[in-house]
Amino acid sequence: MENFTKHPFLLSSPFELLPDNYLEAVELPLVHSRVAAGFPSPADDYTVEVINLQNFLIKDPDSSYLVKVMGNSMVDARLHDGDILIVDRSLLNRSIKTLTGNVIIGKVNGEFTVKRLICKDQKYYLQPANEAFSALEITEDMDFQAWGVVTWAIHKIKH
Amino acid sequence: MKKLYALVDCNNFYVSCERMFDPSLHNKPVVVLSNNDGCIISRSEEAKALGIPMGESAYKARQVLEQNNVRVFSSNYTLYGDMSRRVMNVLSHFSPDVEIYSVDEAFLNLTTLLTNDIKQHAIKLRSTVQQRTGIPVSVGIAPTKTLAKLANRLTKKQKDKQGVVLLQEQEAIRHALKITAVGDVWGIGHRNARKLAAFGISTAWDLSQATDSFVKKHLTVVGLRTAKELRGEACLDMEMAPPAKRSICTSRSFGKALTSMDLIKEATASYASSCAAKLRRQRTCAGLLTVYLQSYPDKDEQVYYNSKTVMLPVATNSTLELVHYANLALQPLYRQGYHYKKSGVIVSELCAQDHAQMPLLDTIDREKHQRIMEVIDKVNARWGRGTLISAEQGVYAPEENHPWKMRSEMRSPRYTTHINEIMVVKS
């Protein structure tokens, strides 16, 4: 391709490769400021949009999914049976090394599981958070893949 | 300036959507069926390897499917629609001009891309879509849209599975044209290919080398445009905004043959109400309504097909009015003794909702209708389509007693849009 920067007037909107973090949207607070007849409300400058929980919990809607937990192997990490998890796949863009320490959704031999990924003596494990369960070593011959990183757990406090 | 287009295509899109949420489908043969579980419309590579053809009727393929333990799904358009939206959103970060061509395909204008490494850009696009949405895509890049389509086709034949084909150098384009059958060129089709074969034109290259007058004579100006695009001359630009819809149609085959007018009425009322909801969503009203009815071909008889169009007194998008007129139009179409296969409702003569003409003598309280519609749309948006329906659509035990309802017995959960159907992970 030619060097387009030489012809700035020929281009309406030249673009370039986006950096890795390009999807993190910049959010601006919405301030309502109306021009009204009479005395302006002094509070008007301070009214902003109400809190949007979705915007707060979900950074990247295109790569985020909701899943439901079934089972008790992660109770000590405060993930309970029936909780809803927010899983962000955009955080997968790292080596397995940088994923360690995170609670992830993993695909193991054709099934999903939620566990903490840990590294010990240069071996990787799927570590439950419940004494009644044992860790699973991730081996070469295992069909393992990280599906997403758990970012939030929504737990209902029942009456 | 030399133009450059990419065609991004989701691989086996519907099957890929199913696989994203069901790891047990990995490496297994999987197919997805069309509306009403009629025929096969998406196949995994493993299913293709079994020789199951695209478009084959599910009934005909049953034996092969069973023998090979092929996992079969009814189509889950709610899921596919949401996954498509995610893919398209991610694509919009790779070009300022994205034209959504179909649910699983988009053209990207890369003409003003400020990098020399186009292939790298495509590889990055591919891995980003895969990572964020879980959907594998393939990318064809070339100086015209027709060549980009052709390049994309070639990604499927690639051995290294990189999923990117760039046709930029003359020599690469020439080679690609020579190995592509003319019937596989975008816009040519197999009927034209047969016609061209009689003149010794069998590859895309042959077509690109034919004279303008020959191509125009046998394939009209449309074919000439295709030939020019194959030569690298861009004739098709990006179509950013889809043209405003001239009409809206809702029709379905019934779940089983219907003979009773009552059930056909219910089904048709549902299609009318779906048209009304679509009209309201795009803030338009319809001035004309057409209903058609079609039977199965009987032993010796022809298929019965008939339609009736009514002009609406006032352009409207009220469910109650459209259902009423759909019913009126349907009555004279019905003949006893036929086995009916499908009915449909088409609304046309669309105008902006705010510009609908008000007659002097109107017997309908339109403001009241509008308020009712707002409530219906709100309730249905919140609790799901079909929560509030008009009584004409049939109210008796709606789940079991709607024989006209689409069959979709093997539909997967709507993982991304319905909170009660989200994916479950074992802990």
pLDDT digits (tens, 9 = 90+) for A54-97: 889 999 999 999 999 999 999 999 999 999 999 999 999 768 88
Give the ipTM: 0.74
Q: What is the pLDDT of residues B310-326, one digit of tens each?
A: 888 888 999 999 999 99
Catalytically annotated residue among A73, A123, A134, A156: A73
pLDDT band for A10, please (50, 70, 90 cuts): very low
Q: Is-contact B276 B345, C-beta < 8 A?
A: no
A95 among known catalytic residues: no
Q: Say yes or no to pLDDT of A48 above 80.
A: no
User: Is B23 in contact with A65 (Cβ distance < 8 A)?
Assistant: no
Stronger pLDDT, B118 or A22, i.e. the higher one? B118
State how far the Cα of B140 lies from the Cα of B107, in Å rounded to an integer: 10
| Joined tokens for residue B268 | 């048709």
Beta partners for B346? B249, B290
Q: Check if B413 contacts A (Cβ < 8 Å).
A: no
Q: Say yes or no to pLDDT of A28 above 50.
A: no
Contacts 24+ apart (CB under 8 A), B100-107: B101/B7, B103/B13, B104/B9, B104/B10, B104/B13, B105/B7, B105/B8, B105/B9, B105/B10, B106/B7, B106/B8, B107/B5, B107/B6, B107/B7, B107/B8, B107/B145, B107/B148, B107/B238
State how far the Cα of B422 lies from the Cα of B427, in Å rounded to an integer: 15
**Residue ranges in chain B whose pLDDT is less than 70:** 159-160, 240-245, 298-301, 355-361, 395-407
User: Is B134 in contact with A89 (Cβ distance < 8 A)?
Assistant: yes
pLDDT at A6: 35
Q: Is-contact B98 B107, C-beta < 8 A?
A: yes
Q: Check if A63 contacts B (Cβ < 8 Å).
A: yes
Minimal CA separation from B155 to chain A, in Å: 22
Beta partners for A47? none
Minimal CA separation from B413 to chain A, in Å: 12
State how far the Cα of B101 lies from the Cα of B107, in Å rounded to an integer: 7
Q: Would strands B164-166 and B137-142 be described as parallel, antiparallel, or unpaired?
A: parallel
Model pTM score: 0.74
Q: Check if B115 contacts A (Cβ < 8 Å).
A: yes
Residue B152 identity: N
pLDDT at B337: 84
Q: Say yes or no to pLDDT of A4 above 70.
A: no
Q: Check if A65 contacts B (Cβ < 8 Å).
A: yes
- 3-state helix, strand and coil shares in percent for chain A, rounded to the nearest 5: 20, 30, 50
User: Is B427 in contact with A10 (Cβ distance < 8 A)?
Assistant: no
Q: Is-contact B408 B73, C-beta < 8 A?
A: no
pLDDT band for A36, please (50, 70, 90 cuts): low
Out of B24, B116, B427, closest to residue A1 by CB: B116
